[in-house]
Amino acid sequence: MSERIGHWINGQTAFGVSSLDGPVFDPATGRESARVAYANVQDVDEAVANAHAAFLDWRVTSLALRTRVMFSFRSLVDAAKDELADLIAGEHGKTKPDARGEVLRGLETIEFACGLSSHLKGENSQQVSTGIDIHSVREPLGVIGCITPFNFPVMVPLWMVPVAIASGNTVVLKPSEKDPSVSNRVAELFVEAGGPPGVFNVIHGGREAVERLIEHPDVPALSFVGSTPVARSIYEEGSRQGKRVQALGGAKNHMLVLPDADMDLAADAAVSAGFGSAGERCMAISVVVAVGRAADDLKVKIAERIRDLQVGPASDPASAMGPVITREHKEFVESCIGSGVEAGASLVTDGRLIKVPGHEEGFFVGPTLFDHVTSDMEIYQREVFGPVLSIVRVEHFAEAIELVNRNPYANGTAIFTNDGGAARRFQREIQVGMVGVNVAIPVPVGFYSFGGWKSSLFGAHSIYGPDGIHFYTRPKVVTTRWADPVHRGVDLGFPRNT
């Protein structure tokens, strides 16, 4: 019998009343490694009730104590990074160095949250009118529903949870059902760090659990990261229910290479950003836009590097790239490759042919390179979310900018060039939320905020950093008059500042 993974409610493992569960696979072997409990409405209500009760105390817990908990949480996550990386690799399939890297990026947002006493400072103006002072504070919202995708099972929850909690809220996290274990361990570390039980809860499951979080009256705000169709529907439904929603969606990230770029640097970057984590990163590069004579050279250099990439399980330290997440996803990626071939793109390397000895049932797709892709092809238009890189050739820089700006997704983009003027023009004209100049994966550090534009983010707030603090708090502005010796009598006119 497989191990059954439970929820984490009020500081302990709970299996809930629902008897439903679903499989968790080791993507490298294709075998089921565990079952995970699927929360129903009652289970979600139980988690929210605990989170709400904890909120009543946590919101008035002093900044000093909250800061101490966050520092201690930071130390424990740091100390556990290898253990967390092993848990990620076992259920997601990414290599251990890559998994450790995601934990380190998650740590950055805990570090930002450790500065909560500065971030939550209000403003104060004296004598704004005669005898009148004004000050503003930011107050927490309550129980935050956090819904996260499979591809970063530690980093994305840590984009949300530390900032939400530091701001005085409590959370119910609903991570991906595909790699659920590590969320429970991170929530457990929060309790070990001295965080009160009930502040950080985890429930597992799928649509039913998410829908209950969306409609629950004690959940005033939702942070979502995942695919665009789900992001859009959660944004629309949550907003209709009067909630604050930030919903980050999918991506199709372009990397422009101008003919004057350092072609070795560009090829290294395209391969790293295209095939790292088997292309299952929301900031992965999936389209290389080669301008003018850049294309031929670049194609050869990318293909050379692909030949040297070792694909295999995370348990083999020599593996540079692991499997994709599920058998269905492997089939989807392979069907996308098929559609590119049918549409007439030229297939330079074909990842469908990969064989990993001893792991024949694993969900492996090899690194795939297409050249001569055009914007009317399905392989260009779909978010493949796998190890498939497409080269689109354009004549001019302006054409490249227009291509990126026409795309409905606008998460990240990059330019590779040695021309400062071209880079400046790109940065100013491009309609994308996160831009790299000779940096292929421009994920902002923890004290900035992360967010795309257009179909890559629904809502007014990016995630973590200063936008995170704003999203998880609301302002209160207090106007005060004390001991004014002058009694002015009744005046029905609108208050004037004098």
Active site residues: 282
Candidate list 251, 302, 354, 440; residue touching ligand NAD; CB under 6 A: 251
Question: Under the criterion CB under 6 A, does residue 177 sit at the interface with ligand NAD?
Answer: yes
Does 46 contact ligand NAD by CB under 6 A?
Answer: no
Q: Which residues pair with 26 in a beta bridge?
A: 31
- Using CB under 6 A, which of 11, 106, 142, 149 touches ligand NAD? 149
Closest CA to 330 of 304, 358, 301, 359: 359
**Does position 92 bind ligand NAD by CB under 6 A?**
no
Q: Which residues contact 208 (CB under 8 A, 6 or more apart)?
A: 38, 39, 40, 41
Give least dist CB 143 to ligand NAD, A: 17
CB of 306 to ligand NAD, least distance (A): 22
Binding mask 354-383 for ligand NAD (x = CB under 6 A): -----------------------------x
Which of 186, 248, 295, 306: binder of ligand NAD (CB under 6 A)?
248
Q: Does 411 bind ligand NAD (CB under 6 A)?
A: yes
Instruction: Based on the shown chain and the rule CB under 6 A, indicate whether residue 282 belongs to the binding site for ligand NAD.
Output: yes
Q: Which of 29, 151, 170, 349 binds ligand NAD (CB under 6 A)?
A: 151
Residue closer to ligand NAD (CB basis): 302 or 410: 410
User: Of 135-143, 171-179, 187-195, 387-395, which part binds ligand NAD (CB under 6 A)?
Assistant: 171-179
Start-to-end CA distance of the chain, whole Å, equals 76
Shortest reach from residue 433's CB to ligand NAD, in Å: 9
> From the CB of 284, what's the least distance to ligand NAD, in Å?
8
What DSSP assignment string belongs to 457-486?
Answer: EESS--BSHHHHHHHTEEEEEEEEE-S---
73 binds ligand NAD (CB under 6 A): no
Q: d(Cα 376, Cα 339) in Å, to the nearest integer?
A: 12
For the sheet with 132-140, list strands across it. 123-129, 132-140, 473-481
Q: Judged by CB under 6 A, which of 276, 452, 465, 468 binds ligand NAD?
A: 452
- Is the Cβ–Cβ distance between 367 and 309 less than 8 Å? yes
Give the total residue count for the chain.
498
CB of 103 to ligand NAD, least distance (A): 15
CB contact at 8 A, 433 and 411: yes
CA angle 416, 409, 244 (to 5 degrees): 125
The residue among 387 and 452 lying less far from ligand NAD, judged by its C-beta, is 452
Strand partners of residue 415? 256, 437
Q: Is residue 148 at the binding interface for ligand NAD, with CB under 6 A as the rule? A: yes
Structure-block tokens of residue 268? 């290294």
CA dist 435 and 475 (Å) reads 30
CB 230, CB 478: distance < 8 Å: no
Query: Which stretches of the chain bind ligand NAD, using CB under 6 A?
Result: 147-152, 156, 174, 176-177, 206-207, 210, 225-227, 230, 248-251, 282, 383, 385, 411, 452, 456
